[in-house]
Structure 1
Amino acid sequence: MGQTSWADDDGSVLPSPVVTVDDKGIKTVIEYKINEEGKKFKVTKRIETKVIKREVNKSVAERKEWRKFGLERGNAPGPNTDTTTTGENIYLKLNQYGYDADAIAKAEAEAQKEQKTTKNSTIQCRYCKQGHFTAKCPDKDRLATPETLASIINAEDGSGGGAGVSAGFSEAASLLDGTKKGGSSYVPPHMRDKLAGGSGTSSLGGRSGSDLGREEKPTLRLTNLSDTVEEDDLRDLCRRFGFRVNRINVPKSYTGESRGFAFIDFFDHSDADACLEKLNGLPFHNIIIHADKARK
Structure 2
Amino acid sequence: MATVGTLPAPVVTDNGDGLKTIVFYRLNEAGKKVKVTQKVRETEVARSIEGQIEARRQWACYRNKDAPAPSVEENVQLKLFPKTAKPEKGQDAAPPKRRVASIVCRTCQGDHYTNACPYKEKLGIVTEPAIPETTPGRYQPPTRGGMYAREERDDSATLRVSNLPDSINEDVLAALFGRNGRRIVRCHVARNKDTHQSRGFAFIAFDTRESAERAKQELHGKAIGHLVMYVDFPRK
Higher helix share: 1
Higher strand share: 2
Larger radius of gyration: 2
TM-score by length of 1: 0.29
